[in-house]
Amino acid sequence: MLTVWGRATSSNVQAVMWTIAELGLDFERHDVGHAHGGNKTADYLAMNPNGLVPTVRDGDGAPMWESAAIVRYLAARYGDAAFWPRDPAVRVQLDMWAEWIKTSFVPVFTGQIFRPLMALAGSTPMQPGQVQAATDALKPLALRLDKRLGDGPYLGGAELSFADMIAGHLLYRYCTLDFDRAVTPSLDAYYARLSARPHYRDHVMVSYESLRTRP
């Protein structure tokens, strides 16, 4: 049994929860973080010194944090050869995109567009032209992902994999937030494909309106 600490509205929790659901694993989830609090207590910090969500334990195993590390653990331990290719030469071709989305796409989209437009707690007030500059910077990245997705229905090609968990969960926010996006037919088709998956709808397509601090 997996225990997950983290609120359903956290996108990093969503990546983990979607993975758990796609793998058909038993879990219990505790609402922690943001309005729920509970992530700065001594007990929580003993599990996760960052005081962030998610934190996960598999049975009585050691606590795990960092959502992408947790997704990789679950995929390696419980996934089949399509979800977690055993050959490192095959797996790295997927993992490149998983790393890229976290290190290239997220800082621009989440850091410079989603957080300021939603005025999330802790985000700095927007400067004139800031969001336009960020949307301009994001367009070539979205086009790069679009090109990759033209090669197959999923990031790894024919079948769903751990890389889709790490990249795909971001697309609910990317595709539903009101801002100026690049024209990306393959990316849009990928998002439509993910949206048709019941586990994606249950765990990722979760309203983020409660996070907004400004209309």
Ligand X SMILES: N[C@@H](CCC(=O)N[C@@H](CS)C(=O)NCC(=O)O)C(=O)O
Residues in touch with ligand X (CB under 6 A): 10-12, 33-34, 39, 52-53, 66-68
Residue with tokens 């048709």: 196
**Nearest distance from residue 186's CB to ligand X, in Å?**
26
Of 8 and 90, CB closest to ligand X: 8
Q: Measuring CA to CA, how many Å separate 107 from each of 37, 39, 138, 170?
A: 25, 23, 10, 12
**Nearest distance from residue 61's CB to ligand X, in Å?**
17
Of 53 and 165, CB closest to ligand X: 53
**Nearest distance from residue 122's CB to ligand X, in Å?**
9
Q: For residues 131-142, b (16+ Cβ closer than 10 Å) or e, as one string?
A: beebbeebbebb
Cβ contact 19:64 at 8 Å: no
Q: Measuring CA to CA, how many Å separate 63 from each of 44, 53, 166, 204?
A: 10, 12, 20, 23
Q: Sheet containing 27-30: which strands, arranged edge to edge?
A: 27-30, 2-5, 55-58, 64-65
**Nearest distance from residue 27's CB to ligand X, in Å?**
16
**Nearest distance from residue 103's CB to ligand X, in Å?**
11
For residue 55, give the H/E element and its range. strand 55-58
3-state secondary structure at position 6:
coil
Of 146 and 165, CB closest to ligand X: 165
Residue closest to ligand X when measured from CB atoms: 33
Of 93 and 123, CB closest to ligand X: 123
Reference 78, options 120, 36, 24, 116; nearest CA is 24
**Nearest distance from residue 40's CB to ligand X, in Å?**
8
Of 39 and 161, CB closest to ligand X: 39
Of 72 and 184, CB closest to ligand X: 72
Q: What angle do CA 57, 160, 59 make, to 5 degrees?
A: 15
